[in-house]
Structure 1
Amino acid sequence: MTAAFDVSRRSFLVGSAAAAGGLALGFNIPFGGEAFAQGSPEINAWVVVRPDDTVVVRVGRVEMGQGTLTGLAQLVAEELECDWGKVTTEYPTPGQNVARSRVWGNFQTAGSRGVRDSHDYMRRGGAAARQMLIQAAANQWGVPAGECTVAKGVITHGASGRTTTYGKVADAASKLEPPKDVSLKDPKDWTIAGKPVKRLDTAAKLNGSQIYSMDVKRPGMLNAAIKACPVFGGKLKGFDAATVESMPGVKKIVRVGDDAVAVVADTWWRAKSALDALPIEWDEGPNAELSSEVIAQMLTEGLTAEQAFVGNQAGDVKAAIANGAKTVEAVYGFPYQHHATMEPMNATALWTNDRCEVWTATQNAEAALATAVDAAGLPIEKCDVYRLNLGGGFGRRATSHDFVRQAVLIAKQMPGTPVKLIWSREEDMLHGRYHPITQARMVGALDDQGNLTGLHMRISGQSILAGLNPQGLQNGRDPATFQGLNASGTEGVFGYTVPNLLIDHAMRNPPVPPGFWRGVNNNQNALYLECFMDELAHAAGQDPLEFRRKLLVNHPKHRAVLDAVAEKAGWGTPAPQGVYRGLAQHMGYGSYVAACAEVSVSDDGALKIHRIVAATDCGHAVNPQQIAAQIEGSFVFGLTALLYGEITLKNGRVEQENFDTYPMMRMNEMPAVESIVMPSGDFWGGVGEPTIFVAAPAVLNAIFAATGKRIRSGPLTNADLSKA
C-alpha cells in the first residue's frame, strides 16, 4: 500500500537516524481515514476485532521479556471494555508505519519508554474503538448509543435487553467515522489495567512455540557466518576463498563492506567451520596498539582538565570547597560492559532487484528499515522489516543495526535467495556497542556541623551520542551523560539539595564503539553519587539514611522510596549476625527507586549478598506483577555487572570472547529480592531499567559496612574484599 506514502528516502533515513539516537519524533494520532487499510476489518490502527470476538491489539513497541506487549494490551483492553481472555497482539511493520504516515508512532523500545511514551494514544485508540463498536450496535437496533453499555465485549441495550458482541458489529464499526474526542477512564476505576493479569506471551515461551529471529526459516534459505576485523577501525585486506570453497555445503565466500568476510552454506555450522578455516588477512589500522591502560590514562587526564561541559550548577563550588571544615575526595570508575544477549545478533534477508525483506529482532524497527533501505539501494516502499520477539536486547538492538546491514549486503550478492546471518558468540563479544567507560572525581565539603556545603562531580569519559548520533550533541555537549544528575526533567533529577554544586563532563572518546546499555549513564552516575554520599555521611559522623534524608527534604518522592526500603529492611535495627546493610536511591526514566542491600563478607573476602529490598515509584503501575519481575531482573543485570562485568582491550581488540571470560551471575549467587511497588499516581515512569541504578551502590555501601573498605570500581572479581 503506497497511497499515503509521502516520505523521501533521504528524509526517512535522516529521521530514523535521529530516532535511533533516542530522540522522540512527533506525530499525529488518527483514528480513521488514513488509519484504515482497505479490506481490513480493523476498527482503527490499534484495534482489530475478528468475527469470533478475538481482539488483536497492534503494538509499535516490541517484546523482549519486559512485558511491554501485555502492559500496552491491558491499557487498550481497559478502555475497549473487551474480554481479556480473548486478547492477542501483533506487530505492524515499519514499512506499513511509514506508508500510513507513522500512525503507530515511534517504533523504538528503549529508555524504559514502552508504556510511558505510548499509554495515552494506545488508551485513546481503545476508547475510540469502544465508542465506534457501541455506535455500530446502536445503529443496527435504531437506538441512541447512550442507551447501550458494554462489558467484556458484549454490548447491551438496557431498555430492550438486546445484546450483541464486538465480533458481530466489527465490520460495521470499521466503516464509521471515528469520534473526534474520547474520554479516558480514571485509573482508580481500572479493572484490567493496574492488575497482575497473566502475561500474553508466557504460554508460547513455555510450550516452545515462540519464534525468535534465529528460528526464522524461509523456502530455499541458506546460512551465513561472518568475521569482521577484530581491531576497531581495521579493514579487510584479503582472503583465500579457494582454500574453503570446496568444503561440504559451502555455496559462496563474499566480502561484506570494507571490514568483513562471510561464508554462505547450506547450514550455519558448515558456514562457520569453513569461515574458521578461511585464511584472512587484516589491515589492523591505527588502533592496533590500543589497550585498557592507554584508555585509563586518557580518562585520568580528564579528571583535572580545565575544560568540561557543565551539566548542573549552583552557587560557588570552588569557594565552598576552599572554606569547608572538612574536605572529602574520591575517584571512582566504571568499565566497558557488554550487552551479552542470550540471542546473538542475527537477521535473515531476501533481496531482488524489486524488493528487499528482512526478518530480525530489533528494538527500533524503523532504524532497522532505514539500515536495510540504505544497504539494499532500493526505494523505501520496496523494503520492509518483519519483527520478531527478542532473545535479549538491553539497548544493543536499539541503535546499532550493523547485523541488518551485513545480512542485506550478503543477500544482495545472492539475489532471490533468503540468507540467514548469525553472529557467533565470539563475533558478538568482539563487535559489541559497549557501555561507555568513565571515571569520576568526587570532591565534597562539610561544615563544622557535618552539613554538605559543596559538591563537585567531574565525569571523565565517553559520550554515547558522539559515537552514535553526533547531531544530537548540544554545542558539543552530550546531555545524556548527565542522566540522574539534572536539575529537572524526567530522565533523571539530582534529588539532593546542595547549596554549591558543579557536575561537569570532560569528554574523552576512545576508538571503541559506545552504545546504550540497559540503564545507560544512570548506572555509573548512581554508583558515583550514592557511594560518595555514603562516604560523606561517614566523614560527617552521621547515619547514611539520615544524612541523605536531610539533603532530600525538597524532593519528597526521592525520600519516600528511600524511607520505604529502610523501613522494610529494618534500617536502624540490628541485622542478623555478620550481616551488614547499605543504601542507595536514584531517579531516572521518570521513576524513583531505592534499595537496601544486606551482605556478609567472610574473613578471607568471600561475598554473599543475602537480601535486597527495592522500592519503585513509577507513577502508574499497569501490571504490578510485571513490575516486580522487572525489579528482580534488574538486580540480576546490575549485580552481574558489579560482580563480573568488564570488557578490556589489548592490541586493539577485546580480550573477552565468550562466557568463560565474561561470566554471568549464577542462580546460587542471587539474593532474595523484596519488591515494593508504590505508584503515587500522578505521572508515568519506566520500570525496565531504573532499579539497575541502585543495585551496585547499595551492595558496595554494604560491603564498606562489612569490611571498612571502599570499593570504587568494578568488577568485584578484581577487588580484595578481605576485612581491613
Structure 2
Amino acid sequence: MIPKLMQSLTLSAPRIETSRRQFLIGALAAGTGIAVGFRLLTASPAAAAETAADDGAHAFSPYVTIDGDGKVTVLSSQFEMGQGSYNGIATLVAEELDADWSTIEVKGAAGNVQAYGNIAFGGAIQGTGGSTSMASSWERYRKAGAAARAMLVAAAAAEWGVDAAEITVDNGRLAHASGKSGGFGEFAAKAATMPVPADVTLKQPGDWKLIGNGKLKRFDSARKANGTEQYTIDVKLPGMLTAVMIHPPVFGAKVKSFDASAAKAIKGVVDVVETPRGIAVIGEHMWVAIKGRDAVTVEWDETAAEKRGTDELMSMYRDLAENPPAAVARKDGDAEAAFASAAKVIEGSFEFPYLAHAAMEPLNAVARMNEDGTLEIWGGHQFPDVYQRLSAEIAGIAPEKVRLNVMKSGGSFGRRAVFDGDVVVESVYAAKAIGFRAPVKVQWTREDDMHAGRYRPAYVHSLKAGLDENGKLVAWDDHIVGQSIVAKTAFQGMIQNGVDPTSVEGAHNLPYAIPNQTVGLTTTDVGVPVLWWRSVGSTHTAFAAETFLDEAAEAAGSDPVEFRLSMLEPDSRHAKVLKLAAEKAEWQKPLAEGRFRGVALAESFGSVVAEIAEVSTDGNGGIKVERVVAAVDCGLAINPDQVRAQVEGGIGFGLGAILGEEITLTDGKVDQGNFDMYTPLRIDAMPKVEVHIVPSANPPSGIGEPGVPPIGPAVANAAYKALGKRIRVMPFSKTLNA
C-alpha cells in the first residue's frame, strides 16, 4: 500500500511521471572508463547533449561505471541500512553484465530525482521505504548492466575485428574463439565511445547465474564482519567539530532562555548556539561537547507542549474506541444487520504502545561548506530530495549546490525517513551558527534517540466478530484509534476522506471472505512525534486481526488453520503460503508435552507471510518462543539467503517489540532512556527460525518488513494455548506478569 500512497506526494520538487518506457539507456566517458545510466525522455536532446558534455548530472546520471582496472561500481538509488538493498541491486547489474562478483562495489547516489526517483513511488521522489528497493530497481538496473555489457562487447569486436555475436562474456572477461580475450578494464574506455544500444535484451531466468542463487554471498559481508565498513559515525574531516543537542524535555516546548557561560568556560567547548530544534553544544570532540551540555542551563517555554502521560492518552483512546469512528476505511455489506442475526458475537479490545526504532547507530550527520560554495552533507539519507531542499533553504543556497554523501547506516527501520530533515538539518543549523568555519558533526546519544525520537504511534482497536449457526464468520467490525503519521506533513495528501492509510493498512484489506465488514478510524490529535516503524500499520493491525481470528475460530469450534483456509481462495497466494507453513511446521502432528503452537498470516508491502510459532512455558507464568516456521511469497527472490535473513531479522525485531518494548510518558516526558528500560530482544530469547520461500516468477515485492507483522499474533495465539490467557495489551509482559 505505501508505494501507491507515496505517488500522491505533494512536494516542492517537480513531480516526474515515470514508466519503464520513459527510460533510455545512455553512456558517457568517465575518465578511462565507461558510465552507463538513463536519460528521461522529458529532457530535450539539446539539454541532454549539454549535460553529457558537462558532467553527467541531472538529465543524465550513470547507474554503472567500469574503471580501467575492471572495477564495477553500481550507483544505488536506494539507501543501505542493513537490509541488503545494495547487494540486491549489485546482483541485478552483475547478472546482466556477467561481471566478476569480486569486483563489485556499490555507492549511494543522490541529487537527481529524474535518475533516482523511486519508480514504486511514481518517480516523484528518491526514497527508500515501503520495502520497495527491489521492485523499483528490478528492471532499470538490469537494463543498465545489459547496456554496459553490449557496449563492452562492441568495443572488443571493434578492437579484434570480429563479429560481436561471436564474443562471449563471463566473470568479467570477454573472449573469442580465435583465442583473443581481455578483462572489462581493457575495453572500458573504448566502450564509452560505442553507440548506445537502442534496446537491450535481458537474460531469461534459465540463464541466470546470480539472481536466485542461494549460495551467493553478500559482497560487503567481510568488511561488516571485520569492522572496516564506514558509517556516518566514522566520518572524520580535517578540523571537524562535534555537536550534541539539548532538545526540549517535553514535545512542543521552545527555548525561552539559556545560560551557556559555564559550558563555554570548559576547555574544548567551541560554542553553544540556539537552533530551531534546540540548543547545539559544539566542541572539539564529543566527550567535551557532552560535558559542555551538562553545564548549560535552559529555561523552557512549555505553553504549547504536550503534557499528557501514557495513562491519560490510553484512557482517552479507550473511550474513543467505544464510540462510532470518525471515518470509515472499509464498508462491505451490512455488518449491523449481520451482527443482529448472528448466532454468536464476540468482542475484544487491543492496546498498542508507542515504540522506538532503537537502531544500532544513533542519529548523526555531518555538514561542511566548501570553498566553492557547495554545502556537503554526510548522513543516512533515506529521503535525500527532502533533505537537500531543506538544507538549501537553511544555508540560503540553491538545492543543486547541496551535495549529499549517502552513507550506509547502522539500521533505520523507518527512523531516517523523516519529513523535516531531523538530524540532517541540525547539522546544517549548527554549522551555519558558527559561520560555516568548520565542518560540524551532530551526533545523538542513545538517550537523545529515546527521549527526542519519533515513535510508532500508540493505538487501540475495538473489535467485534459475528458467527452464524454453522460457525461461519459473517460479520466483522474493527474501530482503530490512534495518531496519523502523515497529518500536518508534506505527505498530508495521503489522507483521503479522513483516513490515513498508514493507520488502517492490514486491517482494511483483510484477505478473508467475510461478507459484512466495517473498518473505522478515529485519528487523535496528540503532540507526541510519530513516524513509520518497520511494517508501519501492519505492526498493530495484523496482531489485532489475527489474534481475534483465533478467538473466532475457537468460538466456531474450528482449527485455526482450517478456519482461515475456509475464507481464502484455494489457489490464492495467502492460501498457498498458509498451507506451506502448516506443512513445514507439521501443524497436524501432535507436539511434545509442554509445547504449544500458534499461527498468523499477513500481507504487507506486496508480500504474504505466514508464521507458526512454537512456545513452551517457563515455569513462572511466562513463555519462551522455541521455534518459528515462516513461509513467504515475495515474488521472485533475487537473493534467497537475503530473503531468509530479512525474515529472520523481522521475526527478532517484532518479537522484541511484543514481548517487552514500550515507550511511556509521564507528564509528557519519555520515561525510557536506554536499553536498561527499553528492552529489545536479547540473543538468548531468539528462537530457531525456518524460512521457506514460495517459488515465484512474479517481479520481486517487499521483504524488509513483511516478516514482522505475523510474529506477534502467532506467539500470542500459542501463548493462549499454553497459559489460557488472551493477550490483548502490548507488550506481553503486562499480561503475563500481571
Aligned-partner residue type, residue 484 of structure 2: S
Q: Identity rate of aligned residues, in percent?
A: 39
Indicate whether 1:452 and 2:473 are aligned: yes
Q: Is the 8 A contact 1:358 1:384 kept in 2?
A: yes
Measure, in 2, the Cα distance between the counterparts of 1:680 and 1:41. 35
Q: CA RMSD in A?
A: 2.3
Distance 1:24 1:591, change over 3 A: farther
Cα shift at 1:553:
2.4
Indicate whether 1:176 and 2:176 are aligned: no
Unaligned 5+ runs, structure 2: 1-8, 38-61
Aligned match of 1:6: none
Indicate whether 1:527 and 2:549 are aligned: no
Indicate whether 1:595 and 2:611 are aligned: yes
Q: Is the 8 A contact 2:480 2:504 kept in 1?
A: no
Measure, in 1, the Cα distance between the counterparts of 2:186 and 2:148. 14
Distance 1:102 1:37, change over 3 A: farther
Distance 1:545 1:340, change over 3 A: same
Distance 1:391 1:602, change over 3 A: closer
Q: TM-score normalised to the size of structure 2?
A: 0.90
Q: Deviations over 1:681-723 (max 9, x none)?
A: 223211111010111000000000111110112112212368x
Q: Is the 8 A contact 2:306 2:527 kept in 1?
A: no
Aligned match of 1:718: 734
Measure, in 1, the Cα distance between the counterparts of 2:217 and 2:248. 45
Q: In the alignment, which of 86, 95, 100 is matched to residue 78 of structure 1?
A: 95
Indicate whether 1:405 and 2:421 are aligned: no
Aligned match of 2:25: 31
Q: Deviations over 1:493-529 (max 9, x none)?
A: 5211111111221222311111011111011111011
Measure, in 1, the Cα distance between the counterparts of 2:316 and 2:394. 35
| Number of residue equivalences | 697
Q: In the alignment, which of 143, 166, 187 is matched to residue 184 of structure 2?
A: 166
Indicate whether 1:232 and 2:225 are aligned: no
Aligned match of 2:412: 393
Distance 1:534 1:167, change over 3 A: same
SS of the aligned residue for 1:625 comes to helix
Q: Deviations over 1:571-613 (max 9, x none)?
A: 1221111111000011111111010001122453131111111
Distance 1:276 1:642, change over 3 A: same
Q: Deviations over 1:161-199 (max 9, x none)?
A: 432332111111112232222222222331111113111
Residues 592-671 of structure 1 correspond to what in structure 2 (within 5 A)? 592-671=608-687
Cα shift at 1:39:
7.5
Q: In the alignment, which of 696, 714, 718 is matched to residue 702 of structure 1?
A: 718
Aligned match of 2:151: 132
Cα shift at 1:148:
2.3
My pick for the range that moved more, 99-108 or 115-124, is 99-108
Q: In the alignment, which of 291, 301, 311 is matched to residue 319 of structure 2?
A: 301
Cα shift at 1:155:
2.0
Indicate whether 1:223 and 2:242 are aligned: yes
Measure, in 1, the Cα distance between the counterparts of 2:113 and 2:722. 56
Unaligned 5+ runs, structure 1: 1-10, 487-492
Distance 1:31 1:558, change over 3 A: same
Indicate whether 1:550 and 2:550 are aligned: no
Q: Is the 8 A contact 1:29 1:103 kept in 2?
A: no
Q: Is the 8 A contact 1:65 1:392 kept in 2?
A: yes
Measure, in 2, the Cα distance between the counterparts of 1:179 and 1:295. 61
Aligned match of 2:456: 435
Indicate whether 1:247 and 2:266 are aligned: yes
Residues 41-440 of structure 1 correspond to what in structure 2 (within 5 A)? 41-44=34-37, 45-92=62-109, 94-95=110-111, 97=112, 107-158=126-177, 160-196=178-214, 197-257=216-276, 259-351=277-369, 354-400=373-419, 401-414=421-434, 415-440=436-461
Aligned-partner residue type, residue 403 of structure 1: V
Measure, in 2, the Cα distance between the counterparts of 1:240 and 1:330. 52
Q: In the alignment, which of 471, 483, 487 is matched to residue 505 of structure 2?
A: 483
My pick for the range that moved more, 392-401 or 517-526, is 392-401
Aligned-partner residue type, residue 212 of structure 1: Y
Q: Deviations over 1:358-383 (max 9, x none)?
A: 11122222222223222222111221
Measure, in 2, the Cα distance between the counterparts of 1:607 and 1:716. 10
My pick for the range that moved more, 600-609 or 236-245, is 600-609
Measure, in 2, the Cα distance between the counterparts of 1:101 and 1:202. 25
Measure, in 1, the Cα distance between the counterparts of 2:705 and 2:448. 26
Measure, in 1, the Cα distance between the counterparts of 2:642 and 2:179. 39
Q: In the alignment, which of 598, 602, 606 is matched to residue 582 of structure 1?
A: 598
Distance 1:25 1:36, change over 3 A: farther
Cα shift at 1:238:
1.1
Q: Deviations over 1:524-572 (max 9, x none)?
A: 1110110010000001111111111101126621111111111111212
Measure, in 1, the Cα distance between the counterparts of 2:663 and 2:462. 22
Aligned match of 1:461: 482
Aligned match of 2:47: none
Measure, in 2, the Cα distance between the counterparts of 1:328 and 1:698. 20
Q: TM-score normalised to the size of structure 1?
A: 0.92
Distance 1:721 1:307, change over 3 A: closer
Q: Is the 8 A contact 2:113 2:126 kept in 1?
A: no
Q: Deviations over 1:13-61 (max 9, x none)?
A: 6239x99xxx99999434216x776886324412211222221112111
Q: Is the 8 A contact 1:74 1:622 kept in 2?
A: yes
Measure, in 1, the Cα distance between the counterparts of 2:116 and 2:414. 26
Cα shift at 1:294:
2.3
Measure, in 2, the Cα distance between the counterparts of 1:84 and 1:578. 48
Aligned-partner residue type, residue 313 of structure 1: K
Measure, in 2, the Cα distance between the counterparts of 1:431 and 1:701. 34
Cα shift at 1:349:
0.8
Measure, in 2, the Cα distance between the counterparts of 1:329 and 1:36. 67
Measure, in 2, the Cα distance between the counterparts of 1:553 and 1:721. 40
Cα shift at 1:205:
1.4
